[in-house]
Structure 1
Amino acid sequence: MTQPDATPLKRTPLHAAHQRAGARMVPFGGWDMPVQYAGLRAEHEAVRTSAGVFDVSHMGEFRISGPDALKFLQHVTPNDVSKLRAGRAQYNWLPNDRGGLVDDIYIYMVAENEYLMVVNAGNIDKAWAHLNALTAGFDVHLANESDRWALLAVQGPKAAELLQPHTDVDLSTKKKNAYFAARLFGQDVRLARTGYTGEDGFEVFVDAKDAEAMWDRLLGIGITPAGLGARDTLRLEAGFPLYGHEFGDDIHPLSSHYGWVVKDKEHFGREGLRQTPTQKLIGLKLEKVPVREGYPVKVGGQVVGHVTSGTTSPTLGHPIAMALVSAESTDADAYEVEVRGKDHPAQRAEIPFYTQKA
């Protein structure tokens, strides 16, 4: 019997531009995405020393507006959205009702009673259904604008310097988590001083139809195209959790070092978050052997958890990992990670592994 064709991969508005740039494309969360161009190490180092640009147009965007927009967001998230002012952004979560996360998100306040929420690509449908199921009793309007926007992340210590001559806004006046309208290369965009690499930078919200022209102009001023491979090594060095690895439907988010997200307020999923986590997210470093997601972590030969993310750090020059381990094993003197049937010694390491240079 003939098997039905697999669901075709989605493409961002920059798909043709990636192919022109020689990108190696891979499936990622249902999307055909660039994993690297010139090479992971070169792209990683460009972001750490100068500037790189990532296509993150696969992320989802929801507009939340109406008289109860703030009240609704306060209900569905644990962070305090009332602290936001127009032109500011905030990291937040969408908890489920069993002590896990529907997604981890960013919220941008556009104006009074108007917000933009960015969700992870693989969670667009799930987060959209979750939010709509919670609107009862709120005078709020939700619009899924995921197809409208392309999102380009310009990241690195020289990001502001390279962008400044081409925009009408003084970027030096914009602090971390700023969100503002601007003209960039003559195009109307929204810029956010946010990112996922541990470096300074700006995420560029641009109309999908204008994305390719914007991408070409960014490359034309010396910004290096960077793929998912470098994005993962950069975020891991910076200790940023990734949904599906350190966060998930059935992973208690307070296992992580992100407890600061939860504020003392009533919200959906509060009871689940108040449960004591049975695991803790720790950092590990190894001398030579790189480790990957799912590898067993041991103390004294006994399995106490597993690696959630691992790589050989291009910046530090040795393997690093984040791992979820049992709460009672977090003060162990030594750990081992099992790689292909052999245990390799690992040392506890502080998260983040790397911090941005002043």
Structure 2
Amino acid sequence: MELKTPLYEAHVKAGGKIVPFGGYLLPVQYKEGVIKEHMAVRTQAGLFDVSHMGEILCQGKDALANLQMMLTNNFDNLTDGQARYSPMCNEQGGTVDDLIVYKKGEEDYFIVVNAANKDKDYQWMLDHQFGEVTFTDVSDQYAQLALQGPKAMEILRKLAPEENIPKKYYHAVFDTEAAGIPCIISKTGYTGEDGVEIYLDSARAQEMWDALLEAGKEEGLIPCGLGARDTLRMEAAMPLYGHEMDEQVTPLEAGLGFAVKMTKEDFIGKKALEEKGEPARKRIGLTVTGRGIIREHQDVYLGDRLIGHTTSGTHCPYLGCPVAMALVDADCTEPGTKVEADVRGRRVEAQIVPLPFYKRSK
């Protein structure tokens, strides 16, 4: 049975079209529709309920040593309040999940994992923990709201003084408040835009949701659903677990080498990645030059040669064209290369382009 986030009633009241996602009932869109929501985030601001995401605490004398062994990125130089993205690999080098780790203090870390993988990730951590460390699943205690878009910070400043707001990307302020509500404010997001993600007590989620929407009225802030979240992350070429990566796809194949520190002494999956050597396939971007939209799980051809398959694809409202991401043979990744995708038995022309498709101007 699907769970409801603390904001379920607010979504229904606002006309949200509810669908099951990651074990939760969430709005895929509101009355304005995906395109309006997408454009609001690109040009003004949008508010997302991402309370389905999971939160896990990692605490104790050996907390850092555990993170260093379980995750591919390096955490020994993290400062208090800083966040870092990392894949988590299995022994074969495949991806268990991708997640974000925040350092709250010495021996105290806050980990955010994907909704559908929360239980799997938590069990993985418990199965691989060692020494003096405690992993605690605190997901039920937290709601998470994402305020995203070029006007997001302007809106937030109406509800929180400057010292409560993180200055840099991938940094958070713990034990702070906005709209008089205790919370964590993190300068992160999954849209390719400026903005924050706010973690707070589930019981006060509705209060924060209403306060943000009220504060953002003049700036055109609107609630946004899963549909826009997906089209926005696609334009920004942000990988989604279960699409661009999974237990069979390594972070290096998925283009996440920046978060895989092979110089680290060791981590789960390091040996397998070393033995595999240079990835035989890589994630690429495609813009559709033919007629049609290319979705996921569609074969990609270079002439008569099958070179891989698409992992995600959609029409991007801001760019005004259909795009896709694909995993293809490493020798077929040159930008400008013309390829074709098999869409239900019909070949649709596309061209390989550099990622990301969209990058906001600073």
> Is the shorter-chain TM-score for this pair beyond 0.5, marking a shared fold?
yes
* Structure 2: tracts of 5 or more residues without a match: none
Question: Hey, what does 1:340 align to over in structure 2?
Answer: 344
Distance 1:12 1:173, change over 3 A: closer
Q: Confirm whether residue 177 of structure 1 aligns to residue 181 of structure 2.
A: no
Letter in 1 for 2:22: G
Shift of 1:171: 6.3
Q: Which string of whole-angstrom CA distances, capped at 9 and with x for unpartnered residues, describes residues 84-112 of structure 1?
A: 11111110111111121110000011111
* Aligned mate of 1:145, from 120, 126, 138: 138
* Aligned mate of 1:351, from 352, 355, 359: 355
* Aligned mate of 2:224, from 223, 226, 237: 226
Letter in 2 for 1:161: E
Letter in 2 for 1:10: L
Conservation of the 8 A alpha-carbon contact between 2:164 and 2:177: no
Distance 1:318 1:197, change over 3 A: same
Question: Hey, what does 1:217 align to over in structure 2?
Answer: 211
Question: Hey, what does 1:3 align to over in structure 2?
Answer: none
Conservation of the 8 A alpha-carbon contact between 2:184 and 2:198: yes
Shift of 1:246: 0.3
Question: Hey, what does 2:56 align to over in structure 1?
Answer: 62
Conservation of the 8 A alpha-carbon contact between 2:87 and 2:251: no
Q: Confirm whether residue 327 of structure 1 aligns to residue 320 of structure 2.
A: no
Q: Which string of whole-angstrom CA distances, capped at 9 and with x for unpartnered residues, describes residues 214-246 of structure 1?
A: 111111122210011100111011111000000
**Percent sequence identity over matched residues?**
44
Q: Which string of whole-angstrom CA distances, capped at 9 and with x for unpartnered residues, describes residues 177-202 of structure 1?
A: 11103211110110000000000110
Question: Hey, what does 2:288 align to over in structure 1?
Answer: 286
Alpha-carbon distance between aligned partners in 2 of 1:273 and 1:253, rounded to the nearest angstrom? 9
Distance 1:206 1:229, change over 3 A: same
* Aligned mate of 1:166, from 141, 159, 168: 159
Letter in 1 for 2:338: A
Shift of 1:257: 2.3
Letter in 1 for 2:146: A
Alpha-carbon distance between aligned partners in 1 of 2:24 and 2:197, rounded to the nearest angstrom? 20
Matches within 5 A, 1:168-207: 168-170=161-163, 174-181=167-174, 182-207=176-201
TM-score, L = length of structure 2: 0.94
Conservation of the 8 A alpha-carbon contact between 1:164 and 1:170: no
Question: Hey, what does 1:4 align to over in structure 2?
Answer: none
Shift of 1:273: 2.4
Question: Hey, what does 2:310 align to over in structure 1?
Answer: 307
Question: Hey, what does 1:10 align to over in structure 2?
Answer: 3
Alpha-carbon distance between aligned partners in 2 of 1:171 and 1:306, rounded to the nearest angstrom? 45
Conservation of the 8 A alpha-carbon contact between 1:78 and 1:92: yes
Alpha-carbon distance between aligned partners in 1 of 2:10 and 2:240, rounded to the nearest angstrom? 26
Deviates more, 1:117-126 or 1:176-185: 176-185
Shift of 1:172: 7.0
Q: Confirm whether residue 91 of structure 1 aligns to residue 94 of structure 2.
A: no
Letter in 2 for 1:251: V
For this pair of structures, how many residues does the alignment match?
350
Shift of 1:302: 2.8
Alpha-carbon distance between aligned partners in 1 of 2:70 and 2:102, rounded to the nearest angstrom? 15
Instruction: Give secondary structure in 1 for the equivalent of 2:139.
Output: coil
* Structure 1: tracts of 5 or more residues without a match: 1-7
Deviates more, 1:257-266 or 1:13-22: 257-266
Deviates more, 1:109-118 or 1:299-308: 299-308
Distance 1:110 1:156, change over 3 A: same
Q: Which string of whole-angstrom CA distances, capped at 9 and with x for unpartnered residues, describes residues 128-178 of structure 1?
A: 111001113x21111100100000010111111111021133467611011
Deviates more, 1:285-294 or 1:61-70: 285-294
* Aligned mate of 1:110, from 104, 127, 145: 104
Instruction: Give secondary structure in 1 for the equivalent of 2:140.
Output: coil
Q: Which string of whole-angstrom CA distances, capped at 9 and with x for unpartnered residues, describes residues 51-94 of structure 1?
A: 11111110100001111111111111111111211111110111
Instruction: Give secondary structure in 2 for the equivalent of 1:34.
Output: strand
Alpha-carbon distance between aligned partners in 1 of 2:211 and 2:164, rounded to the nearest angstrom? 18
Shift of 1:313: 1.1
Conservation of the 8 A alpha-carbon contact between 2:164 and 2:173: no
Alpha-carbon distance between aligned partners in 1 of 2:129 and 2:102, rounded to the nearest angstrom? 19
Distance 1:173 1:128, change over 3 A: closer
TM-score, L = length of structure 1: 0.95
Letter in 2 for 1:88: Q
Conservation of the 8 A alpha-carbon contact between 1:160 and 1:171: no
